[in-house]
Structure 1
């Protein structure tokens, strides 16, 4: 007796090279936009912070009876501004490759029907912003350049890496909670509430980490503006990365569909 049933084929994994190409293009575009954003909005605040830090150092030396000698700049501010944009593009390219690899790993063997490349890219970009920018930034917000004791650099770097690890683990936990509850048949309100609870626990864990060991001798208004613009720069990076990556995926889908 012959069996006329059609065998079920396993989903074909996404080809890695096209995904990496999308990541490189999206990362380069995101880096360029982020660099221009920082150049036009954040750099004026950084210039103010540098001037404030120089005045503070000069005042401390004068109080100690030393004569403050102005240091000659190795690179002009114009050269530094150009380097800022170039660095942002390089960072964007690296983040784009990382984003593409994570995207391929998360969605390997899963067909795109129901949640197409646009939605997938935006969700992953949102998760990246949450895990690597927002959550660590809540515990250790960005400080202007030149702020902090040089002797505590290693300690501050270790604390930042720990915050990144906690942010990533917390985001993965929220995703797994959402995924497992969906498989168990729970509705969206339960799933979203449970995922939000995992994020809240992550914030609590972050604030169990030690505080920044150095004071921040910067005017509160300037410090607040700098931190808001720094976080906004991260948001621009992830939003542009997810948007371009998703749009490129839509173009590829329309050609192969």
Structure 2
């Protein structure tokens, strides 16, 4: 539920704010391609498989599906930590988990390979750009896991020492990201349009993880409140009333 709602919020945000910028970028790319056409007009233009309205609907659906997939993976990771420490408060734990996931999956890769409007650039480099972005995501995930391990293993130390070591580890992960190759394809759009698109793209990720954290943490608090009366009854030593059904009492 948390992943689906987060994906829906990000999809509607992108549809209302980012898609108009994408349309401008597509029109700019089409105008640039027309400028480089031969004088005789021998270049053939292929019709798009899906209209822009269909692509808009597909954007929202794709983000909802992505949110559901993220929710499943997040729940598995959360359950593993919860088994080790079941008494932890679900609200700050959900916020901390989502902040770490946002850095690993969204922020760190975006710093190395900022988003570019779809359909802009050389189509022959799409595969290379996807592989580089996937490598950045893998490094980000493994790096945040290393940050968490450093923070856990320094538990006997003072809090400033633990936080400083974790921050230093995160900085080393960023340095490692810059060891990846540069983007081979320049983005031939105006700097203002590109900046706005990248900021809106990152904002959609922030919204996804914020809604996810709020819903997941809220459901966790609800589960804790539901278990509190049961735990209180067991602590008082009051057993649950037995249901004997049709069994006759023994005299």
Regarding TM over 0.5, the answer is yes
Give the number of equivalent residue pairs. Answer: 228
Q: Distance in 1 between matches of 2:43 and 2:10?
A: 36
Q: Distance in 2 between matches of 1:109 and 1:209?
A: 35
Of 155, 160, 175, which aligns to 1:204? 175
Question: Which residue does the alignment assign to 1:28?
Answer: 4
Q: Which runs of 5+ in 2 are unaligned?
A: 229-251
**Is the Cα–Cα contact under 8 Å of residues 31 and 93 in structure 1 kept in the other structure?**
yes
Q: Secondary structure at the match of 1:234?
A: helix
Q: Distance in 1 between matches of 2:126 and 2:43?
A: 24
Q: Secondary structure at the match of 1:123?
A: helix
Of 94, 104, 112, which aligns to 1:131? 104
The higher radius of gyration belongs to: 2
Q: 1:104 to 1:55 in 2, by over 3 A?
A: same
Q: Which runs of 5+ in 1 are unaligned?
A: 1-24
Question: Which residue does the alignment assign to 1:228?
Answer: 199
CA RMSD of aligned residues (A): 1.6
1:93-140 alpha-carbon deviations (Å, 9 max, x no partner): 11111111111122223222xx41111111110010000110111101
Q: Distance in 2 between matches of 1:180 and 1:101?
A: 22
Where does 1:144-223 land on structure 2 (aligned, <5 Å)? 144-182=117-155, 185-223=156-194
User: Is 2:29 the counterpart of 1:53?
Assistant: yes
Scaled by the length of structure 1, the TM-score of the pair is: 0.84
- Following TM superposition, by how much is the alpha carbon of 1:187 offset from its aligned partner in structure 2, in angstroms? 1.5
Of 220, 223, 237, which aligns to 1:252? 223
Q: Secondary structure at the match of 1:107?
A: helix
Question: Which residue does the alignment assign to 1:107?
Answer: 82
- Following TM superposition, by how much is the alpha carbon of 1:71 offset from its aligned partner in structure 2, in angstroms? 4.7
- Following TM superposition, by how much is the alpha carbon of 1:61 offset from its aligned partner in structure 2, in angstroms? 1.5
